[in-house]
Structure 1
Amino acid sequence: MVSRPAKYCPHCGTGLERITFDGHDRSHCPSCERVVWHNPVPCAGVAVVDQSRAEPAVLCVERAVPPGVGEWTIPGGHMEVGEEPEVAAARELEEETGVSVAPDALEILDATALPPRDGKHVVTTYYVADWADATGEPTAGSDAADARFWTPSAFTDSSEQFRPVHEERFRAAFRRFR
């Protein structure tokens, strides 16, 4: 299995061919006769909502690394091998923002397959948490240039750009606590 389209067999190094297998166009190694599966990468993220403000706000990060440098997003990232999605979401939140929340305080917000980027397909499980259940103060951590709370109206009025695939989750998290 590979996360991006392979050109060579990861088992023997032979150049791959395309075949139809199980009704789908697949990569196939003519030497070792294996199908090289191109599967999505599992990711998890969490939107922390602060309801104590006059207008509730969602904790977001500004990306500091590709893809999407300079775009705002819900904190999240790749799951580790053997890691449960809610544990990955809580870990990524702390790594990127310095804010901690217990995995059992998370509620599922959404799960979606994101559009491929450079041949990489991602499936993300999004969670939502109440700021009252979190500890720490937002600071930019790994992969982040900034971390702060945004209200939908403040974001709409700003010149900042939200990562398109995450804006819907940002607004859904906000609505969850209204």
Structure 2
Amino acid sequence: MVARTPSYCPDCGSELDSVETEGRTRRRCPSCARIVYRNPVPGASAVVVDGDRVLLVERDIDPGAGTWCDPGGHLDVDEPPAVAAARELEEETGVAVDPDALTLVDAVQMAPWGEKYIVSVGYAVEREHTTGALSPGTDARAARFVHREDLPRLTFAFDYVPARIDRAFALFDGD
């Protein structure tokens, strides 16, 4: 399984061709007959809610350099999604959380980045369950709490982010 359209067999190195199978056009190795399936890449993020504010990062890298998103990124091969969300939160913002304190918000398939598709698992937590001082990571221009009424003025890196933030606020409204 690969995330981008493959050109060569990961087993034997032969150049792949295309075949119709399982109702789809798929890449196949003519030498060893292996079908090389293409799958989305898993990611995870954590929305930190502090009353009427939410923690966001301004991206310093593409895609979306200069736009805003929830702190998150790709899962490592041995990580459950909540562990990855907690790790990415700390890497991008300096704010730490125990993965067990995270509440599942949603799972969405993001719009493709070229040939790459991503499934993002979103979590939320209230600020009081986190520790650490706010400090943007190496791939963030800024990390800050943004008031709910200021969110419509921001440009978001990914189309799912505003709805994920709304769902996170809804989890903690009226506590």
Q: TM range, normalised to the smaller chain?
A: over 0.9
Q: What is the correspondence of 1:45-56 to structure 2 with a 5 Å cutoff?
A: 45-51=45-51, 56=52
Q: TM-score, normalised by structure 2?
A: 0.92
Partners of 2:63 and 2:80 lie apart in 1 by: 24
TM-fit CA distance, 1:153: 1.2
Paired residue type of 2:170: R
Q: Which residue of 148, 154, 169 maps to 2:164?
A: 169
Paired residue type of 1:155: L
Which stretch of structure 1 is more off in the superposition, 167-176 or 34-43?
167-176
Q: TM-score, normalised by structure 1?
A: 0.91
Match of 1:88 in 2: 84
Instruction: Work out whether residues 108 and 160 of structure 2, in 8 Å CA contact, stay in contact via their aligned partners in 1.
Output: no
Instruction: Work out whether residues 61 and 148 of structure 1, in 8 Å CA contact, stay in contact via their aligned partners in 2.
Output: yes
1:63-103 deviation per Cα after TM superposition (whole angstroms, max 9, x unaligned): 11111111100000011111111111000000000000111
Instruction: Work out whether residues 49 and 124 of structure 2, in 8 Å CA contact, stay in contact via their aligned partners in 1.
Output: yes
Paired residue type of 2:130: A
Q: Which residue of 95, 101, 110 maps to 2:97?
A: 101
Q: Tell me, which stretches of 5 or more residues in structure 2 are unaligned? A: none
CA RMSD, 1 decimal: 1.3
Partners of 2:99 and 2:133 lie apart in 1 by: 18
Instruction: Work out whether residues 9 and 16 of structure 1, in 8 Å CA contact, stay in contact via their aligned partners in 2.
Output: yes
Percent identity, aligned pairs only, is: 45
Q: What is the correspondence of 1:28-177 to structure 2 with a 5 Å cutoff?
A: 28-51=28-51, 56-156=52-152, 158=153, 160-163=154-157, 164-177=159-172
1:127-156 deviation per Cα after TM superposition (whole angstroms, max 9, x unaligned): 000101011122111321100011231122
* Number of residue pairs the alignment of both structures matches: 172
Instruction: Work out whether residues 152 and 171 of structure 1, in 8 Å CA contact, stay in contact via their aligned partners in 2.
Output: no
Paired residue type of 1:161: T
Partners of 1:3 and 1:143 lie apart in 2 by: 22
Paired residue type of 1:162: F
Paired residue type of 1:73: C
Partners of 1:151 and 1:124 lie apart in 2 by: 24
1:91-121 deviation per Cα after TM superposition (whole angstroms, max 9, x unaligned): 0000000000111100000011112111111
Q: Match of 2:7, SS?
A: coil
Q: Match of 1:115, SS?
A: coil
Q: Tell me, which stretches of 5 or more residues in structure 1 are unaligned? A: none
